[in-house]
Every structure is written in C-alpha cells, then in structure tokens.
Structure 1
Amino acid sequence: MMFFALFCLLMENGFRTSLEITKRYILIHTMRRYLCMGSRYQFLYDADVVVCGAGTAGSIAAIAAANEGKKVAMIEQFGTAGGSATLSLVTPLMHTGIEGNPMCSYVSQKVNEKLVEYGGATGDGSVFDPQMLALVLEEFLLHENIKIFYHTFVCEVLTNGSSIRGIEVHNKSGRGLITGSIYIDATGDGDVSYLAKASFRSGDEETGKNQPVSLRYMIGGVDIEKFWEYLNSLKKPEQRQAYDPESNFHAAVTVPNRDWPLYPVFMDAIAKGDLIEDDAVYWQVFGVPGRKDTLAFNCPEFFERTNGVDYEDLTFVQMQGKKAILRQLRFYKKYFPGFENAYISAIATMVGIRESRRIDTDYVLTAEDVLSHRKFDDGIAQSNYPVDIHGRKLKLIESKSRQGSDEKPYYEVPYRSLLVKGIDNLLVAGRCIGADFIAQSSLRVMPTCRAIGEACGIAAAMAVEKGVSPHQIDGALVRKRMIQLGAKFA
C-alpha cells in the first residue's frame, strides 16, 4: 500500500518534486513506527506547513498558506487566536506611518473588512474590539480548514542535522507529535527556533535589558462623554474639541511634543498616595468600537522584571499588574468625572511583551536600515513607524524622512530576515525575526507583523510546492504573489 502511494506521488508531481515528498513520506512512516510505538508519543497530525503560534503573525501565516492550497496545522498555547491583539488586549492597530496607510497583507485587509462588517471596528478596521477580532480570525481559520491545536504547548523540536523533522507537543491528552515539510515559528519569543538550537539575541545591545512590558486592561461603565468634557475643561480653549461618539477616544502621556492635561491630576494623586510614580510614566487610553461605555488602557507598564521568557518575571507582572489595575481603578473613580460607576471588564490573559528573543536570520535588519529607509529587492513589508523604545523616559526616534525629504519615506523588511540561520525548513514570523534592538522596536507593531506572517505563509507554500527549502525561494517572488493576492505596497 505504501509503495502504491509513492508511485502515485511520482506520477502526479513529477520525479524531481516528488523526490522530496517521497523522502518525507518515508520519514513520517518511520517516525510513526519508531517514535510513536512507545508511550512517549502519540502521532497527532502531518501537514504541509506547521505554524507554531496563532497570534498576530501566526494566524495570518496559517491563513495565507492554507489559501495557497496547502494542508496547515496550527499550534497555540491558549484557547483563541490573535495573540497580543486579543489575549494582551493590544488595540488599536497602529498606523504604518506611510501616506495612505497601505496594508502589505491581503489577509489583514480581509480581516479588517470583516471586523467592520460585524461592528467590531471603525473605519479601516484599525480601531477594534479584541474579542471580536478573536471571533473573526477563528472564522477565517476554520474557513481554510486549518487543523487547530488549542491549549497545546511546543515542548521539543526534533531535528535531523539542519532540518526539523517534527514538533513534540504537550496538552491535556499527553504528549504528541506533529510533523510537516515547512515550519513557521510565530511564537513571539522564538520558542521553536530556540528549541531547534538556533542562535538569537535579546535586549538592548548596550545594556542587555529588554523593553518594558505591560498588563493591559479594559474599564466598563464609563460615561465617556462626561469624561471627555472633563478633559476639555483642563485644556486651553484652542485645544478643546467637541465630543464625537463615533470617533476613537484617545488620550496619552509621555508621547513627546503632545500636551497632557492630566499631568497635574496624576501628580496630585501621587502626592496623596493614591498612585505611585510609575503609574504616571506611561498611561494611554483608547475607545473600543461597539462598546459605548468602555475604554482600553495601555498600562500599567513595568520597567524591571521584563524578561518575556522568564516565568518568574511573567508571574511577577501578572500579580503586580493586577494590583496596579485595582489601584488605578480606584484613582479613576475618585478623580475622574464619568467613572463613578466604572468597573474592570477585562484584564489581559497574556503579558504584553514588546521584545524578547530576536532570532538570527540570513539577514538581520539594522537601525540604519530603518532610519535611512533602506529598500530591498526581497522586501515583503513596508513601514515608517518610528523607533519606539519604552522606558521611564520614552525614546521615539523618527526616521530621516520626517526630518527632511524623501520620495519614498519608508523602510522595507527583507524576506531574508524571516529565514532562520542554519535551519533548512524553518521560517520565523512576527516581532522575533532577525533585527537589532532598535530596528525591532519599529517593526514590532501589528501591521508589519501581519505582513511578515503573510510572507511566511506564502513562502512556505511555495517551498512545499517546489519541494525545496524556504532559503531557496526568491523573496521577490513572494512579494509578487502577495501583491497578486491584493496586498498593498507603497
């Protein structure tokens, strides 16, 4: 039976392509027999493309690969898709900084359109309800017949030389094995690459410190119009704006060159012991489409214990973050008109990590690339989002175009920055791609990560189709395919 199947593969695909397929077919059966015959493994699934992580980049990568006709498995440690956007409550989708805000991901465009249709986003979909995004992403994943493994952890990567041969996972059913031709590490922290012994870097090259982390939350029961009028009363007359219930509410602190009328209020609360100093370092609030009485907060932020791959740091932030959220709620109710009936409606399940492992790839994007707006023949994502390094003193470095003139004011992320160095069949997607600390602080935002995920999914599908390594795929062809499918490049 096995030999008949191999013969059919040769007839259908041609000898050269089928040689790679045949090798994997034999390998799968060998692994099933010798690895799964004992109690250690249960063979769970074989796919063309295995995506580890269903977050901002991973969900888009899985959809893109499946849309190219490939059999896709997706492994996710939580019970929902969306990653930081849904589980860390990171909303809204930031602007690319490019005129017209082009989306270098056709899947992202479709997701945003569906969000607007369902009433979970306004305008172009950039301002969204995290829970609605989770529902929309899952709808797309199911439509593409992707095999989803929720509540499943990657615990080991099986390699043979420079290739990955399988992913050992663990869930409530025990240990299992998932195999594929091409693997995509979209874990955010480069977990698969790390377990496969890929080299990486982490933290500021000068200090070794990672970016600060946050535990975001949402407050319901707010009379937003009343709060808006209160903010207006603190502003100079020429700065006041009429309340518009259809617009996105946005107020921020610590952003350079932006007035913050709440500063004296926060200082007064600190002096009275109702807040601590770190509460006033970074405070940001947004409206939530479809929730007329709800605000989403990008805080509290933590400046120590920021290692996103250290369970003790993560535990510390989860516990201390909840204490800070309760402290801030009490502050709002005491000091802010409109918060009299406010309550905590959601606390992020997942800590908001800005930067952790950055995997070494065939090309490592640099600060100079970002600030000089470097273009690449294999550029698969474009951005002019500023260098954005959080800390007790926020560091925003604008690109050279914002300081002068530039006909094409944006930089590009090359496909080579997605190719894990030294591993034949592994791509990396999202904030953990190959970049230095400064470059990563710009590319880590969701529009860029979605485009990176899409490029990974399409490249993986191409590699499966040709029976080659993703390292042998021309990144310019990946970009061309993205554009054919509807991605918008400047």
Structure 2
Amino acid sequence: MLIEAPFSGNRSLTSQTLSADLVVVGGGMAGICAAITAARQGMEVVLVQDRPVLGGNASSEIRLWILGATSSMGNNNRWAREGGVIDEILLENQYRNPEGNALILDTVLLEKVTQEPNITLLLNTAVQSCEKAGGSRIAKVLAFCSQNSTQYRLEAPLFVDASGDGILGFLSGAAFRIGAESREEFDEAFAPEKAYGELLGHSLYFHSKDTGKPVQFIPPAFANTDLASLPRFHTFNLYDRGCRLWWVEYGGRLDTIHATETIKWELWRIIYGIWHHIKNSGDYPEMETHTLEWVGMIPGKRESRRFEGDYMLSQRDVVEQLRHTDMVSYGGWALDLHPADGIYGELPGCTQWHAKGVYGIPYRCLYSRNIDNLFLAGRIISASHVAFGSSRVMATCAHNAQAVGMAAALCREQHLLPRELMEDALMDNLQQRLMGMGQYLPGMHLRDTDNRVKTASLSVSSTFSLQQLPADAGWKDLDSSTAQMLPLEAGRIPVLTFEVKAKKATHLVLRLWGSSLPGNFTPDRQLVEKEFAVSKGVQELTVDFGLLLDASAYYFVAFAANPFVQVAISELRLTGLLTVFNRVNLDVAKGSRQEPPEGLGVDAFDFWLPERRPGGHNLAIGCTPAVNLYRSEFLLNGMFRPTAQTNAWVADPTDPEPTLTFSWPVQQEIRKILLWFDTDFDHPLESTLRGHDERVMPFCVREFRLLDERGNLLYQEKNNHQSRYEIVFESPVKTKKLVLRLEHPGREVPAGLFGVGIYS
C-alpha cells in the first residue's frame, strides 16, 4: 500500500534518460525500416512512436495498403517492387496474412522490431521538445508516454525524423515548406502558376460485415445525412470499402497539422452519413444484414510539412528520370496530386501522371540542410509539392528510410555527420552496403569483391534455354493488344513461332517494340511491323522480323488486338519472362494510354500491364535458334532482379535435382552464405484489404540443401519465402567444395537463383 501525504509544491513526472547511437522519431513504415537497418548494422537505436501500434498509415488504425513503384501493376515499371527490409516485411506478411488482415500486419511489424536486440521501442510516446547543442545540432529529445506517465530524455549523436508531420524537424528549427511551389521555382509545368497553400487532405476508412440477420442502423446526430449535397456524390461507388474509399478526403484547405481533429470530425460525419445512406435509403437491399465492423479513429494523412535538404526532388527528376551520383533509393508512383476541396469539390479525386520508368532519389534529399545531425525519412523528405505527389507513398518512404538507416551506421563508424557522406568513396560505400542488404538501386550492381564464388569453379546440373514454351494452357483472346516480353541480345532476332486460332479469315499484325531509355519497360520505339493473313482455324505463325538489334534489352513482341483471333498460351512460368497487355488499371490511370494536356511536362505513352495470377500466362512460343535467357555467370553480376536481362540462372524443368557445385583448389573457411531468390518483384504485395491467392511467390525456391565435399548436410531449409536468405554458421565450415541442391518450386516453375554469395 502506498500513501503519500499532501505536497505543497508541484510533483514531477517519472523521468528516464536513454542514450543511444540513433533516435528515430516515428514508427510508420519509414521509421521501422530506418530503425531495423541501423540496428542490424550494430547501432543502438531508440524508436519513438506516438501510437499504440507500428505501421502508421499501414497499421490497423488506418488500414491503407503499402504500395510504391509497382503502382499496383498499373504502370510500366516492371520488376519494380522495393527491396531490402520493406521487401522482407511484405513477403513475411504475404506468407502469414494473404487475406490482408491489418491486425495481423500489426503483429508482423511489432515482431520485426522487437526481435532486433539493438532497438528500444517506445510506443504511445510523443515527442514534445528538443534541446540543441548550438544552433544547428540536436542534443536531446524530450518525449512523454501517456500510458506509463513517464517523461523520456533521449540522447544521441544522430536523429531521424520519420514522424509524418516532421515534429522533430519543426522543433529543432529545420527549414521546411508547406503548400505548392510556383511553376518557375523548379521548372515544373505541373505546378500552379503561382505558389499556393492548399494541400492534399486526410481520408478515413470503414469496414462492414455480414451478420446473417437484419441489422438496423440509427445514425448519430453528427452524421451528414444529406449526401446529395456533396458535389461528387453521383460518382461514389458505395460498394467499395476500406482504403478503396480513399476519395473520402477532406481538409486540404485547412491546417493539416493543427486542424487534424477538426478534419477527423468532418470525415466521421461523412462516413456515418454514407453508412446511413447504404442502410436506410432503400437503394441497397442486399446490405440489410450488414453492420459496421470498424471505422477509423484517426485519419490517414497525406501532406503537411516538407523539409529542405541540400537537393529538392522535382517534377523533372521524376519524369525525365534524371541520374544522380548519390542515388540511394528510387520511386515509381505517379505524380499523384489531389484537389484541396476533396469530397466537397467538383473535381475528380486525384490527378495521376506516370513516368516511363522509375526514377532515382538522391541522398541529398534525406538530411536537413541546416540541422547538421538530422536525417529526413518518410513523406517529409526534401521534395517539391509536385514530386512529393510521387515520393509520399509508403513503400517509397520505407525504401528511402533504409538508406537513412545505413547512412546513420556509416556516420557512426566514420564519426561523420550526414552531409559528409557525400564524398565519393563514402557514397560508393553507402550504395554498395545498401545493395548488399537487398536494396535495389536502378542501373547499379553489387561488386561483392569478398565473394568466394568468384574464385570457385562453378558447375550446374542444367540450364534452361528457351527453345519452346509448350501450348498447354489453352487460348487467350486478343481482345487487347498483347505482347510477350523477351530479353534479347544485340544481333539478329531469332525466328519466332506462335500458335493462333482464328474464328474467320483475317489479317493479324505483329510489331516489335523496344524502350527508348535503357532500363525502362515502356515500349515506345517501334522497330518493325509485320502483317499476316490467317485462315479460319488453328495454325502455326512463323515470324521472322529480319532485324539486327542494336542493344541487349527487353523487347516486346506485340500482337495487335483482333477480336477474331486467339493465341495459345503456356503453363510454364519462368523467372523474368512476362506477357503484358495494352490495358488500363483504373486504380491508377484513366485509360490504356496516358494523354497529358500539352505543356504539362509529362510524356504521352501506352500502358502495357501484366495480369495478376492465376492469369498472366506466357504466350506459347518457339525460338530458332534458342534464346539463352539464363546463365550461371549471371549469379555473379550483382543484379538480383530482371533489368536488361533476366540476371538469373534457371534449371531445366526436367532436371530431377537442380544442383550448383562450387569447388576450390584449396580448403576454404566459410562463415556466411547469401542466396538471392526470385520472389517476383513485379508483384506489388499490397499489405491489407486486397487479399492474395498465394502465400509464397511461385518462382521462389522453398526447399534447398547445402552439403560439403563429403556429402555431409551443412544446412537445410524447407519453407523459404524470402528474396534474400542468409546462412551464418556458428563456427566456420572447412571444405574444398559446396553443393547446393534445390527443389523446383512447382511442376510448371523450374528452380532458379539470382545470386550466390560465399564469405569467410
């Protein structure tokens, strides 16, 4: 029993001081990935989150799915899913939670953070103030936990602001902006003629469930029961739910930081008004047995402060895909801006303009230009309002933040401040270390000079060569233009054969397309066109384009749409081989071709989109001579996804036990092995709500064994689902030979690998 006598003064809160190498403020996807990355590099990290769960907009409190450069497979950014920690998280969530339950994602995120011994996690803890060491350096952060009534003093030489609204940057005096820049400042044609203050608003989501019996709904007094008064009511799709209701947006003309509670109340009024309309208007009799299961308690925020770094990303960086020597991340979401009036406006809910490919994000955007020890992560990075429309999405934020976490580790090791990493050798070190942990940097490769595979004699049991994809999966209607993507080497294109079936005699047009910019997958350069007369019925089509290709790259063999023709498709699925269609994904575009107004500074081009599985079959195709898509030497090129080539070794499907053997003339001491698997980087892995048919990506090798020169089993895995697999032996293995035996992922999916690393 505790009895405390009356006290004449003021009592003080319980106070605790924590010292660390790095303090990360904000536990959304950016803060999580920065903290995990730094902790795995040996840094002591304090992660401060003002909510009871991790994940920010992805958490069960808001329930927006995580997306980034893949743009939900709605643009031409093939194999563009972000790598590293965010990839690890999304694949783990896919394995445990293919249904897209936001509560399960909460547990995945909490587990990932709490399993790192170097991270101290403070939930329900809000930053209130900071102490400076001079005018340009943060010394301490003061934060308060509402649940244990404790004041924390957090000390570190380095800080990361990943808080969304930029609370630490604001308190520390970091330069920031709110609102849109004028068109002239960054030469952005998509920007307004004059600077303005309107912002992207907040959104609130809801879920319902079927109870199996009639359910009455009486709206609360604060509900807006006159939805017809909303200008955009006639465009609502009230069969949508969850984050498909992103258009329930409000607050862009208010202070999106200090008026958040006001905005939330207005969104509640709208949400409960929508549900009243669904339940009581009589227009939705099928909803009689449905009840509200969940309504968001806090809104999902889009825009508030953006902080200034030594470089500000702009429209030209995105659209022109400008190259930066200090690229440490990339983006690929559209320039996606929303009208400030949101649901109370007449304008469409968003305007999205895509680039022809992904764009690099320079390191100079990821630290404050005037607070020497402050990194920037999440949606607050140094970007113009227009470029922010692309860089703000969660997977891009997470990928940027991994670079921040690694940069912080390098700063600690070298006793440097963030800006000082811009020296060439240090930047190269940062980029190489990022790629070594799985971060993808377009156009760059991991040199991996310590890899013992480079001194080994490597043999493989078989290698698949594309001579024929069998016509064993039926027929595909040419209801839209359809293209088989093929990675071809410079030189003469092989003679191709297809099987087609025509309802009547007709003419069929085939075109060969390439991309105007190396590394892109937008077919905007027609190389040759052939027209064929086809007769009614099934026939083989032989295509000799008679062309010498000037560069090794992915090319598109495209059938023009023809309602009278079908083309045979194959069950065989292969790493880096894909069929795409000239279609539209209405979630992220208005049509199958992007046609911007003249003078907007955005390109016009066609969208060529893959189908989600169980669709997405390759066309049945024959190649003469055979195309060597896969090679064992690709395992050492430091590229771990398809780029201008597959970058993979793939075994022949008939190989009963795909095997790689690494031999050395003298005994080796081996402590660590890295394996890089194909987890289909073209699939976006939306984290919540949407749901997926697969727990493991079909190309991923799940089972493998590692043996030494005597056949002793050194390691075995039976349930892999990750891209990057690390094996660390408790004591070094001494051997002259390592044998890696793989199991095919499926009957129609042969085993393959992007890379192997063996280290002492």
Cross-structure match for 1:30: none
Give distance in 1, aligned partners of 2:236 and 2:418: 42
Superposition pairs for residues 266-305 of structure 1, below 5 Å? 273-278=226-231, 280=233, 297-305=245-253
Conserved in 1, the CA contact under 8 Å of 2:131 and 2:140?
yes
1:211 alignment counterpart = 200
> How far off is 1:351 after superposition?
1.7
**Where does 1:44-83 land on structure 2 (aligned, <5 Å)?**
44-83=17-56
Residues 380 and 452 in structure 1, CA contact (< 8 A), matched pair in contact too: yes
Q: State the distance in 2 between where 1:41 and 1:330 align.
A: 47
How far off is 1:340 after superposition?
2.4
Q: Distance in 1 between matches of 2:63 and 2:177?
A: 27
Change (3 A) 1:317 1:443: same
Q: Tell me which residue corresponds to 1:135.
A: 107
The one-character-per-residue Cα deviations of 1:133-180 (angstroms, maximum 9, x if unpaired) are 211011000111211111111011111122111101122324320111
Shift of 1:487: 2.2
Distance 1:356 1:182 in 2: 24
TM-score, normalised to structure 2, is 0.48
What is the match of residue 322 of structure 1? 268
1:486 to 425, 438, 449: 438
- Which of 400, 405, 426 aligns to 2:374? It is 426
Relative to its length, the structure with more helix (as a share) is 1
Query: 8 Å contact 1:222–1:339 — kept in the other structure?
Result: no
CA distance in 2, matches of 1:345, 1:280: 23
Verify: 1:331 aligned to 2:277, yes or no: yes
Is residue 396 from structure 1 mapped to residue 351 from structure 2 by the alignment? Answer: yes
> What is the match of residue 329 of structure 2?
381
1:163 and 2:137 aligned: yes
Kept after mapping to 2: 8 A contact 1:362/1:416: yes
1:166 match: secondary structure: strand
| Residues 462 and 301 (structure 1), Cα distance of their counterparts in 2 relative to 1, 3 Å cut | same
Q: Which amino acid aligns with 2:131?
A: L
Residue 371 of structure 1 contacts residue 398 of structure 1 at CA under 8 Å; is this kept in 2? no
Instruction: Describe how 1:149-188 pairs up with structure 2 within 5 A.
Output: 149-161=122-134, 162-172=136-146, 173-188=149-164
Q: How many angstroms does 1:285 deviate by?
A: 8.2
Letter in 2 for 1:81: L
Q: Secondary structure at the match of 1:455?
A: helix
The AA in structure 2 aligned to 1:480 is Q
Q: CA deviation at 1:376?
A: 1.2
The Cα of 1:92 is off from its aligned counterpart by 4.9
1:307-353: CA deviation from partner (whole Å, max 9, x where unpaired): 2211xx21112212112111111223343354222222222233221
User: Is the Cα–Cα contact under 8 Å of residues 388 and 396 in structure 1 kept in the other structure?
Assistant: yes
Residue 450 of structure 2: aligned partner: none
Alignment deviations for residues 20-64 of structure 1 (CA, whole Å, 9 cap, x no partner): xxxxxxxxxxxxxxxxxx958833311111100000211111111
Instruction: Give me the whole-angstrom Cα distance separating, in 2, the residues matched to 1:347 and 1:63.
Output: 31
Q: Is this contact kept in 2: 1:51–1:61, CA < 8 A?
A: yes
Q: Report the 3-state secondary structure (helix = DSSP H, G, I; strand = E; otherwise coil) of the residue aligned with 1:189.
A: coil
Q: Give the Cα–Cα distance (whole angstroms) in 1 for the partners of residues 257 and 79 of structure 2.
A: 33
2:90 alignment partner in structure 1: 112
Counterpart Cα distance in 1 of 2:168 and 2:276: 41
Q: Kindly tell me: are residues 454 and 280 of structure 1, through their superposed partners in 2, closer, same or farther at Cα, counting changes over 3 Å? A: farther
The letter of the residue matching 2:203 is S
Question: Does residue 167 of structure 2 align to residue 221 of structure 1?
Answer: no
Return the TM-score normalized by structure 1. Answer: 0.73
The number of aligned residues is: 385
What are the residue-to-residue correspondences of 1:445-456 with 2, within 5 Å? Answer: 445-456=393-404
**Match of residue 348, structure 1, among 296, 301, 315:** 296
Partner letter of residue 277 of structure 2? Answer: F
Tell me if the contact between 2:251 and 2:263 (Cα under 8 Å) persists in the aligned partners: no
Report the AA paired with residue 90 of structure 1: L
Which residue identity does 1:153 align to in structure 2? A
Looking at structure 1, the residues matched to 84 and 263 of structure 2 have their Cα atoms a distance apart, in angstroms, of 35
Shift of 1:400: 5.0
1:222–1:470 Cα change, 3 Å: farther
- What stretches of structure 1 of length at least 5 have no aligned partner? 1-37, 123-127, 224-271, 289-293, 402-408
Summarize the alignment of residues 7-46 of structure 1 with structure 2, pairs less than 5 Å apart: 42-46=15-19
Q: For residue 116 of structure 1, what is the amino acid of its counterpart?
A: Q
Answer with 92-101 or 356-365: which moved more: 92-101
Higher strand share: 2
DSSP-derived class of the 2:89 partner: helix
Q: Is the 8 A contact 1:459 1:470 kept in 2?
A: yes
Pick 1 or 2: higher relative contact order, CA cutoff 8 A, min separation 6: 1
Radius of gyration: which is bigger? 2
Q: Is the 8 A contact 1:377 1:476 kept in 2?
A: no
Q: Do the aligned partners of 1:98 and 1:384 also contact (CA within 8 Å) in 2? A: no
Please report how far the alpha carbon of residue 299 of structure 1 lies from its aligned counterpart in structure 2 after TM superposition: 4.3
Distance 1:295 1:329, change over 3 A: farther
Q: Structure 1 residues 339 and 149, CA, compared in 2 at 3 Å: closer, same or farther?
A: same
Aligned positions of 1:190-205 closer than 5 A: 190-205=166-181
In the TM superposition, residue 371 of structure 1 has moved relative to its aligned partner by 1.8
Within 2, Cα distance between the matches of 1:71 and 1:283?
A: 49
Residue 244 of structure 1: aligned partner:
none
Tell me the residue number matched to 1:228. none
Which amino acid is 1:166 matched to?
A: K
Verify the 8 A CA contact 1:379 1:415 in the aligned structure 2: yes
Secondary structure at the residue paired with 1:121? coil
Output the amino acid matched with 1:428.
Answer: L
Quote the offset at 1:88 in angstroms: 2.2
What residue is the counterpart of 2:5 in the other structure?
none
Q: Which amino acid aligns with 1:316?
A: T
In structure 2, relative to structure 1, the CA distance for the partners of 1:458 and 1:317 (3 Å cut) is same
Distance (whole Å) between structure 2 residues aligned to residue 475 and residue 319 of structure 1: 46
Is 2:327–2:441's contact at 8 Å kept on the other side of the alignment?
A: no
In structure 1, distance between residues paired with 2:133 and 2:403? 26
The alignment status of 1:121 with 2:98, answered yes or no, reads yes
Change (3 A) 1:138 1:58: same
The answer to whether the 8 A contact 2:310-2:367 is kept is: yes
- Tell whether 2:165 aligns with 1:189: yes
**Counterparts of 1:306 and 1:212 in 2: how far apart (Å)?**
8
C-alpha separation in 1, matches of 2:57 and 2:267: 16
- Structure 1 residue 286 displacement after superposition: 9.6
- The structure-2 alpha-carbon separation of the partners of 1:45 and 1:213, relative to structure 1 and needing over 3 Å to count, comes to same
Aligned equivalents of 2:209, 2:247: Cα separation in 1 = 16
In 1, distance between residues paired with 2:227 and 2:352? 33
> Cα offset for 1:202?
0.6
Relative to structure 1, is the Cα distance of residues 212 and 186 closer, same or farther in structure 2, using a 3 angstrom cutoff?
same
